[in-house]
Chains A and B, each alone.
Chain A
Amino acid sequence: MDESIFFATITELNGKLRAKEFSAEELTRGFCDRLEKLGPRYNALALGLREQAIREAKDVDDELKRGRFRGPLQGIPYGAKDLLAAKGGPTTWGAKPYAGQVFEDEAMVIKKLSKAKAVLCGKLAMVELAGGGGYRYAAASLQGPGLNPWDRSRWSGGSSSGSGSAVAAGLVPFALGSETSGSILTPSAFCGVTGLRPTYGLVSRNGAMALSWTMDKIGPMCRSAEDCGQVLQVISGKDNDDPGSAGKSFYYAPQFAREFKDLTIGYAAVDFAEWAAAEARPALQQALEVFKRFGSKIVEVKLEEFPYGPMTNTIITAEGSAIFEDLIRSGKVDQLADEKQIAGLKAGLDITAADYLKAMRIRSLVQQEFRKLFVDVDVLLTPARLGPASKVSDPLDGGGALSSGPTPPSRGLRDLIPAGNLAGLPALSLPCGFAGQLPVAVSLVSRPFNENTLLAYGVRYQSETDWHRRRPPTA
């Protein structure tokens, strides 16, 4: 099978399947071979599911022979972050204490993708327990540190590490990741793939490991914005078994989004010119210039000041420690790989109800401020991460390789990852160039349930650039 197939988009692959250029079984075998051979190279593979994948692919071939076309995901292989329950083997949550955990039922998102006849080829590695206790090293995973296909001495990002590197290296056409605060956007940006964090409640978390009931979201990591839209359409929707479900569906229809000339993009120049790492600035500035050509009104904005860090930390740690209380009290928490994560989970049991509620009350003010901001602005544009992927051996709490100059005069939109997650807002990460040989990305954030506008901008941006088409040299 030609190497370019492994870097084709969902739409392209589905077209080739329908045109009978290859069968779903051939496609699945090709991706399974690649996932099993190259997945360990990036510590990306948690569990290969070759046999059941080939069975499912044969079913798809039977359907295609009978002319039964279900939709764009029919016969498309994919991988799922190992916090999603799936049949065929253990679901480890990336953590040694759960290495032998087997579920009888499957996560709702896996069921929905099965119904659409997408083919699950493997479970993908992740940071243990999605990093809820706060981890210090990239090695905080049962599979070892997520290695970046663009440079294996660099981290693939977390906590959806395997999802990011597997898509980037052409091991799967798309993957499911999850985000509590940055876990889709970060690996997407570091690995140069397109990642969508949906609005809180749009995608069911039923059958997914819980880290934070009020912040967890599941979303697609793909080769293009269009692919993200196709996957989100399938996995979204009401689910009575997820108490956080918003009861809404999503239909991918960017053609019905408002025209760009009627929309306003908010950004902070200080993010691009001063906060970003020097080596990332040219790519980020260039992306900003491309967005300026779309005809939208561009205005400077800033986020209201809130204690975003302490709020996010208090909420995630309090909820995560409550969720894993049995693990902590039994002492099995000490089997985790990262000492800081162990300590963080233990200390999380000390958080008082008063502090948790205070953080949750301030959270309602954060949402109010976003509501006001989105009266005048439709989309926020910001660097997805301020710099490229850090070295695998670097401690993650060291501040990274950011600007070493004087502190910029304003925080701009620097806090948009915690703030956007606290408010449950959707976000899209788009590869926009390189710092050296490492990918750099911008992200777009919008009001709740406005994914089609984000995707319309993403599709337009990717029609004028080819950063999302670049392949890692080592893959």
Chain B
Amino acid sequence: MGNPLTRRGWAQTAMAGSLAAAQTVKPEADAAEQLLEAARKQVARNHETLDKFPLKMAVEPSFQFKA
């Protein structure tokens, strides 16, 4: 019938399970973190590029073409 389940045995099993789960999830979580980091770097690079573009004070934001 197998070994009786002790508190210590249960804790070891649970720890092993959570370690295995963490190892399974970790690469995916890492990839998501890396992509988020890359996306934030892109925002920062865009900022740097836009920041270097000289603009006169009178230039107003616009999006609709006035014919």
**Partner-B contacts on A (CB < 8 A):** 133-134, 199-201, 214-215, 244, 246, 306-307, 310-311, 313-314, 317, 339-340, 342-344, 346-348, 350-352, 355, 357-365, 367, 370, 422-425, 447-449
Residue in contact with A346 in the complex, picked from B36, B59, B60, CB distance below 8 Å: B36
Most A CB atoms within 10 A — which of B38, B46, B59? B46
Question: Quick one: closest B residue to A339, CB to CB?
Answer: B35
Q: Which of B49, B50, B61, B64 contacts A424 (CB 8 A)?
A: B64
CA of A424 to CA of B46, assembled, Å: 21
B5 at the A interface (CB under 8 A) = no
Indicate if the CB atoms of B63 and A363 lie closer than 8 Å. Answer: yes
A357-B61 Cα distance, complex, nearest whole Å: 6
Q: Smallest CB–CB gap between B32 and chain A, Å?
A: 6
Range for the number of chain B residues in contact with chain A: 20 to 34
The reply on B26 being an interface residue by CB < 8 A is no
Contact with A along B37-67 (1 / 0, CB 8 A): 0111011011101110101000111111111
CB-CB under 8 A from A201, the residues of chain B are: 64
Bound-state CA distance A313–B31 (Å) is: 22
In-complex Cβ contact of B43 among A311, A351, A361 (8 A): A351
| Contacts of B6-31 to chain A: CB distance below 8 A | 31
Name the contact of A200 in the complex, choosing from B32, B40, B64 (C-beta under 8 A): B64
Q: Tell me if B53 and A344 are in contact (CB < 8 A).
A: no
- B60 smallest CB distance to A (angstroms): 6
User: In the complex, what distance in Å separates the CA atom of A339 from the CA atom of B29?
Assistant: 11
Cβ contact within 8 Å between A362 and B50 = yes
- Set of chain A residues within 8 Å of B40, measured between Cβ atoms: 347, 350
Shortest CB distance B59–A (Å): 5
The distance in angstroms between the C-alpha atoms of A317 and B42, with both chains bound, is 11
| A357→B62 CA distance, assembly (Å) | 9
Closest 5 interchain pairs by CB?
Answer: A360-B61, A364-B62, A347-B39, A343-B35, A214-B63
Residues from chain B with a CB closer than 8 A to the CB of A343 are 32, 35-36, 38-39
B54 to chain A, nearest CB (A): 10
Contacts of A360 in B (CB 8 A): 61-63
A198 to chain B, nearest CB (A): 12
Q: In the complex the two chains form, is A346's CB within 8 Å of B39's CB? A: yes
Complex Cα distance A351/B46, Å? Answer: 9
Given contact pairs A340-B39, A350-B43, A199 touches B59 in the complex (Cβ within 8 A): no
Q: Is the CB of A358 within 8 A of B39?
A: no
Query: A359–B47 contact, CB under 8 A?
Result: no
Known: A346-B39, A364-B59. A311 touches B50 (CB 8 A): yes
Q: Assess whether A215 is in contact with B63, with CB atoms less than 8 Å apart.
A: yes
* Chain A residues with CB under 8 A of B46: 310, 313-314, 351, 355
**Residue in A214, A361, A449 whose CB lies within 8 Å of B60:** A361
Cα-based distance from A363 to B61 in the complex (angstroms): 7
Contact B50 A448 (CB under 8 A): no
Residue of A nearest to B38 (CB): A343
